[in-house]
Structure 1
Amino acid sequence: MSLDIPAAIEDGLSRLPTRVAAILFVAYLVVGVLSTVASQTVGLAVMERLQAMLDPANAPPGGPGAMSGGASPLALDVGLAVAAVLFLAQIVVAQALGVVTIRTFVSSARREFPDSLSRRFGWVVVNALVAGFVVNVLIFVGGIFLIIPGIYLAVALYFVQFEVIVEDKNVVDALRDGWALTSGRRLHVFLLLLVIFAIGLASAVPAYLLGMVNAPALAVVAVSVVLGAVTGLVVAAIGSRAYVQLKPDGWAPAGEASPFDY
């Protein structure tokens, strides 16, 4: 099937004013806070470790966290090893939430979560993480040679994780079938990604402006987390409904017994 971008946007947005989407929004807020804490903590720990290695005599007294000041208001007072574990843990949690979100928005369910939400959940989360890593590496390698190959790969492989999450495919099959799914429709997928990029860019503006006027760091972080949660939910909903459009007529997600809304 072809990709109708306005219809995907309209369909995706129609999934948001629901109890299910409200629950997901709260989950995105929690994960957003965890992600911010983890990234600020690991960033601060790396900076302190580098300063201690390059100039031990001027290393900040008081151990980890002494350099934070107002730049990293949510950074935890832990060492680099603990910070790295925390960062990896939030990646797994974020991916698990992504599986729940995509399975929900791809399904026909609107007023409750789909029955097949927990199907092979751990296996799917691990494979989705691996698939995302492989796709990002391929895009990075393509971008090293020229920007255009990287963009082309980002477009061609955009739905690889969807294949893992929705169809329970392994990484190899998902790469093959995700590539095939966008074949002949890549211009439309590229335009869809431009829309998604514009949404992400617009959501970053308020926090950027607050930073420009020297607003308190905690306020900047709070605005960034809230808008990031909204953006993540909107993008997931639009992408999920676009994915459904590209599937053959009569297709239903794995494990979904009924094609009707419930």
Structure 2
Amino acid sequence: MTDGFERTTTRNGLRFVAVFAILSIASVLLSPMRLDTGEPVAPTVGIAGAFAGLLSIVVAIATVVAAIVALRTFAAGETETIPDAFVRRNVGWATLNVILGGIAFALLVAFGTVLFVVPGLFLLVSLYYWAVFVAVEDQNALEGFRSSWQLTRGNRLRLFGLGVAVFVTGAVVTAAFALPVALLGIVGGVLAQVVSAAITVYVLATTVSAYDQLRDGGPGERPDTQPTVPGTPA
């Protein structure tokens, strides 16, 4: 968690906070919600509504791309600049796999949770790192699930504890800003998006930190695949 915080506060980490904040604000502005109060507003209709919907999809895809680039940057240990290769390399294929894999991941965890809470949590921890393999190692979603399953073997209880600690940290930070957000109107709404973006980047940075430790020196069985593309951990 400390390493995730250090990565978040680097120049690149702060750049990603700004990017996610801008995308989050854009998403709110395009949705039928008020930025200052969170209350619904009258939906736009016709051409304007269709255009706003299209822009919302673009913003959502851009957010996925930003997450992929952030994972690659954190995994490569880049703190000052973001290499162009991280933005260009197979980004369309990676984005498609992250979107489809995200849907499959959510359905698997939801199904396990409906059956019984423990299977859902087990799948959540076991498959959580699939997106890192997609973004960093150019695997497809199915390969990412398999690699994550192997990576987390023998460490799932501790990884669950890490997930709980990160979740609690995010909740505490959000609660700490709840009063200013409520009192500052539209400025508070913007502040809320910035705080949310910082938490998102921290989660990504902590995820990569745990991934690095498990692959490079952590206990437990390591996956059979090894990174073969530039900008990934050796």
Q: Same fold (TM over 0.5)?
A: yes
1:74/1:188 CA distance change after superposition, 3 Å: same
RMSD: 2.9
2:117 corresponds to which of 147, 155, 168:
147
1:78 corresponds to which of 28, 44, 47:
44
Give the aligned partner of residue 120 of structure 1. 90
**Correspondence 1:95-106 to 2 at 5 A:** 95-106=64-75
Percent pairwise identity: 25
C-alpha contact (below 8 Å) 1:72/1:217 kept by paired residues: no
**Structure 2 gap segments, 5+ residues each:** 218-224
CA distance in 2, matches of 1:177, 1:20: 27
* More displaced stretch, 85-94 vs 137-146: 85-94
Matched residue count: 223
**Structure 1 gap segments, 5+ residues each:** 1-8, 45-67
Question: Residue deviations 1:23-82, cap 9 Å, x none?
Answer: 2221121112123224x42xx6xxxxxxxxxxxxxxxxxxxxxxx697447968523655
Give the aligned partner of residue 37 of structure 1. 29
2:10 corresponds to which of 18, 21, 31:
18
Q: Which has the higher helix share?
A: 2
Residue 195 (str. 1) matches residue 165 (str. 2)? yes
CA distance in 2, matches of 1:86, 1:24: 21
C-alpha contact (below 8 Å) 1:37/1:74 kept by paired residues: no
CA distance in 1, matches of 2:40, 2:226: 42
Larger gyration radius, structure 1 or structure 2? 1
| Structure 1 residue matching 2:183: 3-state secondary structure | coil
C-alpha contact (below 8 Å) 1:105/1:240 kept by paired residues: yes
Question: Residue deviations 1:80-126, cap 9 Å, x none?
Answer: 65554343332211101100111000113222224641211111111
C-alpha contact (below 8 Å) 1:116/1:255 kept by paired residues: no
Residue 165 (str. 1) matches residue 139 (str. 2)? no
Give the aligned partner of residue 205 of structure 1. 175
1:243 corresponds to which of 182, 203, 211:
211
CA distance in 2, matches of 1:153, 1:172: 14
Cα deviation, residue 183, structure 1: 1.1
| Structure 1 residue matching 2:172: 3-state secondary structure | helix
CA distance in 1, matches of 2:167, 2:233: 31
Question: Residue deviations 1:112-156, cap 9 Å, x none?
Answer: 224641211111111111111110111111111222221111111
Give, as a single letter, the amino acid of the residue that structure 2 aligns with 1:124.
A
C-alpha contact (below 8 Å) 1:103/1:114 kept by paired residues: no
Residue 28 (str. 1) matches residue 2 (str. 2)? no
